Structure 1
Amino acid sequence: MNKASLKKLACIGMIAFAAVITGCGSEHKVAVVDYQKLEDQSPKIKAIQQEITDKDKEISNRLAEDSKKGLSDEEMQKKVQSAQQERMIFIQSKQKQIESMIQSQAGIIAKEKNIGIVMNKMSVPAGAVDITDEVLAKIDGGASKAASSQSK
């Protein structure tokens, strides 16, 4: 083995060791949030998704009208590219809005329950506390109802 390989192995070993040491003795619970369930059941998230659909229709209609105007291929291509960029920016901003809403409510619940880590349910195979219903309730304003049904 050459020196570069030994240095890489030593670095990887130190990182792994640090990860094990920092994880040992931690009594923080892990919680999960089912994003799919939130998207399916939250009226606020559905409203944001509807905004995306409406914007998509608006852009498509605008492009259809532009195509009827008899624009040159080059002008039409510019319109299409501009519309695609507008759509992408709008979708990204709405996705960030949803993500921020979920993260803030999950953070509040995690603090209340002394949970150290909250992850997407798809990332954790088993063994974590599911706080999806509580996040859903907080997003949509019914926090007290979910808290009482989840308390043990």
Structure 2
Amino acid sequence: MKQPMWKKLACMGLIVTAAIVSGCGSGEKVAVVNYQTIAMKSPKVKAIEAQIETKNNEIASRLEAAQKQGLSQDELQSKFAEAQQEQAIFMQSKQNQVESMVSAQCQKIAKDKGYTIVLRNGMVPYGATDITDEVIAGLNQGSSSSETK
């Protein structure tokens, strides 16, 4: 009876060792990006945020003008609902624009540096390389080249 138990333990040890060794050779390179830092430091993202603010101010002034016209409560509610919808659509399109710019820059850096995975900061507890500054630099290069075109 002792011999079969010994064989089982040895077999389990080999399986665990094989699993550990096979996981060590995967060679995954993981990078992280901090979107808050990009929003604070990238002139291109700040310009998009300024566009959003300008649109919000325009919508607010239109709503003020509508209130001063003496429209009925139903008409005001209708204008307010339209304005909210317009604001949401504009905001979503600008957020998508920022997301696609950052994503494209992350893909370029990942390809150039051999990263297999790029995640948002906070999703990886440790062991990843922060490429936020490289993304910001790439966005800045992209903005200067697109402005000259």
How would you bin the TM-score normalised by the shorter chain?
0.7 to 0.9
How many Å separate the matches in 1 of 2:124 and 2:100? 20
Q: CA RMSD in A?
A: 1.6
Q: Secondary structure at the match of 2:126?
A: coil
How many Å separate the matches in 2 of 1:122 and 1:48? 24
Q: Is the 8 A contact 1:33 1:121 kept in 2?
A: yes
Residue in structure 2 matched with residue 94 of structure 1 by the alignment: 94
Q: Secondary structure at the match of 2:77?
A: helix
| Aligned pairs, number | 121
Residue in structure 1 matched with residue 129 of structure 2 by the alignment: 129
Q: CA deviation at 1:68?
A: 0.4
Residue in structure 2 matched with residue 59 of structure 1 by the alignment: 59
Q: Is the 8 A contact 1:32 1:130 kept in 2?
A: yes
The one-character-per-residue Cα deviations of 1:124-149 (angstroms, maximum 9, x if unpaired) are: 2221010011100000008xxxxxxx
Matches within 5 A, 1:64-143: 64-141=64-141
Q: TM-score by structure 1 length?
A: 0.76
Quick one: percent identity of the two aligned structures? 50
Q: Which moved more, 1:76-85 or 1:125-134?
A: 125-134
Residue in structure 2 matched with residue 39 of structure 1 by the alignment: 39
How many Å separate the matches in 1 of 2:62 and 2:55? 10
Q: CA deviation at 1:26?
A: 2.5
Q: TM-score by structure 2 length?
A: 0.78
Task: Specify every segment of 5 or more residues in structure 1 that has no aligned partner in the other structure, as ranges.
Answer: 1-19, 143-152
Q: Which moved more, 1:117-126 or 1:28-37?
A: 117-126
Please tell me whether Structure 1 or Structure 2 has the larger radius of gyration of its CA atoms. 2
Q: CA deviation at 1:123?
A: 1.6
Higher relative contact order (CA 8 A, sep 6+): 2
Residue in structure 2 matched with residue 15 of structure 1 by the alignment: none
How many Å separate the matches in 2 of 1:141 and 1:76? 45
The one-character-per-residue Cα deviations of 1:41-81 (angstroms, maximum 9, x if unpaired) are: 00000000000011000000000000000000001000000
